[in-house]
Structure 1
Amino acid sequence: MAPSTETLTAERILEATEEVLRRYGPAKATVVDVARALGVSHGSVYRHFRTKAALREAVTERWLDRTSRALAGIAAEDRGAEGRLRDWCAALFTAKRHKAGDDPELFATYMVLIGENSAVVERHVADLVAQLGRIVGDGVRAGAFASADVPATARAVFDATVRFHDPAHARDWAHPGADAEFAALVDLVVRGLKGA
């Protein structure tokens, strides 16, 4: 194997791991495959990620964080809570749908990895619910939404929209009526938050 001329970083390893997972799948991909793709020894990979499980967890977290970061920008915007809530829910649905539809092999791989890394998934969900909490809380403070318990309301909104972001429902996302069903659900959620 030819030595790599680039500095080996955790980010480079994660990028290579994603490609290896796409090529071989989670059952066959190894740390040796990742090292080979990078042109380094597998010991070099282990200096950044102590175990194969740690590497797989980091790849899973990186994948989920892409969605979280995009949504965090919407949650932090300085505008009305209703518009932010609608845009946040739509962005989550769009992101999940693209992940499932644009690269189905990698999506299937990540479904396996997510099953292995429940703590990563729990942190991801907690982050998303906290973002919703920020939006709902801003809406309550502005008088646009009604809620006696903002964290519980944020979790309820997350749970109510689960069909449009939980990978278990990915097969439904390409359904011709999915967009209309999503819009109807978000309208219902917003009406409920307004106390109408």
Structure 2
Amino acid sequence: MNKISLDKEIILNAAEEVIRRFGPEKANISDVAKSLKVSHAALYRYYNGKTDLWNAVTERWLSNLHVSSKDILKEDNPADIKLFRLLEDFAEVKRRSAVNDPEMFANYLKLAQGSMDVIEKSIEGGINSIKEIIVQGITEGIFFEEFPQQAAIAVYLATSTFIHPNSFEDANRKQNIESVVNLLIRGLKNPNK
């Protein structure tokens, strides 16, 4: 085998391509190694088997998917506007992926079933982003909430239906998202504002 300089990013790129080609059930570590022209043992220096590698692919995919959400957190907007934009982005980012990259989205759905730790970490990240904006809103006097963590969980749960693939084809999807998000924001608002 030819010597190649390996790192996690190179392996993840190769694994993603192999998963795209064969699907997450049929693809294996040997396929990834073959595509990199290394022995499969070389990959075990970086990942402890197929599950570990597939989890890393899923985690990276989710992280890349939510780059726009991280940008929203950095915006110089009042919390109510920022929360509306964040929740709208959460709802639309997976739908856009399903439309623009259906093969990887389908693979993500299959991978996600076996990657509960990765999915839970992603959900926790979403809740933390919502909480950050709620805390900002409390500081600004826009939101009135005694328990920002619990409020963030409730907001996440109330909008999570829009990240499910079953909602992607709903003709009233955009209107429904806006209605739910506006209702949630009104519920968080300081009654004195």
Q: State the shift of 1:98 in Å.
A: 1.4
Counterpart position of 2:35:
37
Q: Helix, strand or coil for the counterpart of 2:161?
A: helix
Amino acid at match of 2:177: F
Counterpart position of 2:111:
113
Amino acid at match of 1:131: S
Q: How does 1:168-187 map to 2 (within 5 A)?
A: 169-187=164-182
Q: Do the aligned partners of 2:33 and 2:43 also contact (CA within 8 Å) in 1?
A: yes
Q: Helix, strand or coil for the counterpart of 1:91?
A: helix
Counterpart position of 2:189:
194
Q: Do the aligned partners of 1:67 and 1:92 also contact (CA within 8 Å) in 2?
A: no
- Aligned length in residues: 191
Amino acid at match of 2:84: R
Q: Which moved more, 1:82-91 or 1:101-110?
A: 101-110
Counterpart position of 1:90:
88
CA distance in 2, matches of 1:154, 1:23: 38
Counterpart position of 1:24:
22
Q: Do the aligned partners of 1:4 and 1:38 also contact (CA within 8 Å) in 2?
A: no
Instruction: Encode CA deviations 1:36-75: one digit per residue, 9 max, x unaligned.
Output: 1122221221221121111111111111112344312312
Q: Do the aligned partners of 2:138 and 2:145 also contact (CA within 8 Å) in 1?
A: yes
CA distance in 2, matches of 1:58, 1:37: 18
5+ residue gaps, structure 1, are: none
Amino acid at match of 1:194: K
Q: State the shift of 1:79 in Å.
A: 2.4
Q: Do the aligned partners of 1:136 and 1:150 also contact (CA within 8 Å) in 2?
A: yes
TM-score (norm: length of structure 2): 0.92
CA distance in 2, matches of 1:147, 1:136: 8
TM-score (norm: length of structure 1): 0.90
Q: CA RMSD in A?
A: 1.6
CA distance in 2, matches of 1:121, 1:88: 19
Q: State the shift of 1:186 in Å.
A: 1.1
Instruction: Encode CA deviations 1:18-50: one digit per residue, 9 max, x unaligned.
Output: 111111111100111111112222122122112
Q: Do the aligned partners of 2:55 and 2:118 also contact (CA within 8 Å) in 1?
A: yes
